[in-house]
Amino acid sequence: MIGALLLLAVAATLAAGTLLAAWLDRRLAGGGGIASLAADWLAGPVRTEAPDDMNRRLAPAWYLALAAAGLCVVPFAPGHAAIDSPAGIAIWGACEALTVVVVFLHGWSPNAPFPLIGAYRYAAIGLPAMLPSMFVLIAAALPAESLSLVAIVDSQRGAWNVLRQPLGLPLFAVAILSLTLRGPMDYADGADIAGGTSAEEAGPARALWQAARLAMLVSACAMAATLFLGGPLGPVLPGPVWLWLKTAGMMAAILALGARIARPPPARMLGLVWTVLLPLSFLHLLISGVIAL
């Protein structure tokens, strides 16, 4: 019974969150919004020469499925997640890794140069950008002494991780930008490659891919709220409401951030990831470890 309720909560959160994300995207980041999704949906499909049709059709579905799987491990009330796995945080990590694969396939499958460049460019930045996020996940598990997200939420009853692990949320924000193809981490869809992995896409396929991006934003922000802002913990209001409020706040922050930071060329970002973000994530792990002791 509770299991079915939680699955329903995941589906409803993903659907409503995606609409909210589209609205916020238009207000805060100059994105297309819900109306543009509708306009894309009404346009006709296009076909490139000799594409990989299976992967082309499946890419948005996989992306959406990963967003849903990621949201399933998020506890909606203290002690309750749709998938209450002892390795919940590793499931989220697997979703992050598979997202890189899906974005790559999305760019590879149309069989065209600009999408292909977007695809491997994203993989080249997305993979190293995932390393700091893995360290952030490990650090968040330290005070809880568990990989379970339910335990991680419980460990924040005294103080939220955002206070105990000050570098965690900024580092995780980089991962969210990368997972949702936004702003300074959007190496898949640059203007210099005419929209990159989406350059050869129109109609319902484009609308679905854009919706999946927004759904992933919902999932990743819910994960950030769980890891750093105490998830469903909070006074007076019920747990799910707190989680929704925190997730919406994170979504607004990420969208505003993504629209206000310049994106350097990939080689420069690669240097930044390896020489700044990775050492910072080690420092973060050290700080979190010492505090947890």
Residues 14-43 interacting with another protein (rule: CB under 8 A): 29-30, 32-36, 38-43
Residue 4 belongs to what H/E stretch? helix 2-29
Partners of 77 in the beta sheet?
80
Q: Tell me which residues in 211-270 interact with another protein (CB under 8 A).
A: 259-268, 270
Residues with Cβ < 8 Å from 177, sequence gap 6 or more? 183, 184, 185, 186, 254, 257, 258
- Assess 84 for contact with another protein (CB under 8 A): no
Out of 11, 19, 127, 253, the residue judged to bind another protein by CB under 8 A: 127
- Assess 3 for contact with another protein (CB under 8 A): no
Which range, of 105-113, 167-175, 215-223, 225-233, touches another protein by CB under 8 A?
A: 105-113
As measured in angstroms, the least distance from the Cβ of 171 to another protein is 17
Q: Tell me which residues in 261-290 interact with another protein (CB under 8 A).
A: 261-268, 270-271, 274
As measured in angstroms, the least distance from the Cβ of 23 to another protein is 12
Lay out the site mask for another protein across 44-73 (x = CB under 8 A, - = otherwise): xxx--xxxx---------------------
As measured in angstroms, the least distance from the Cβ of 287 to another protein is 19
- Assess 111 for contact with another protein (CB under 8 A): yes
Which range, of 102-110, 161-169, 233-241, 246-254, touches another protein by CB under 8 A?
A: 102-110
Which bin fits 280, alpha (ψ -120 to 50), beta or left (φ > 0)? alpha
Q: How many CA atoms lie within 13 A of 133 on its CB side?
A: 25
Exposure string (b/e) for 146-171, b if CB count within 10 Å is 16 or more? bbbbbbbbbbbeeebbbebbebbbeb
Instruction: Output the DSSP codes for 36-64.
Output: HHHHHHHSPP---SS--HHHHHHHHHHHH
Backbone angles phi, psi at 48, to 5 degrees: -95, 180
Out of 20, 64, 200, 288, the residue judged to bind another protein by CB under 8 A: 200
Out of 147, 212, 222, 223, the residue judged to bind another protein by CB under 8 A: 147
- Assess 86 for contact with another protein (CB under 8 A): yes
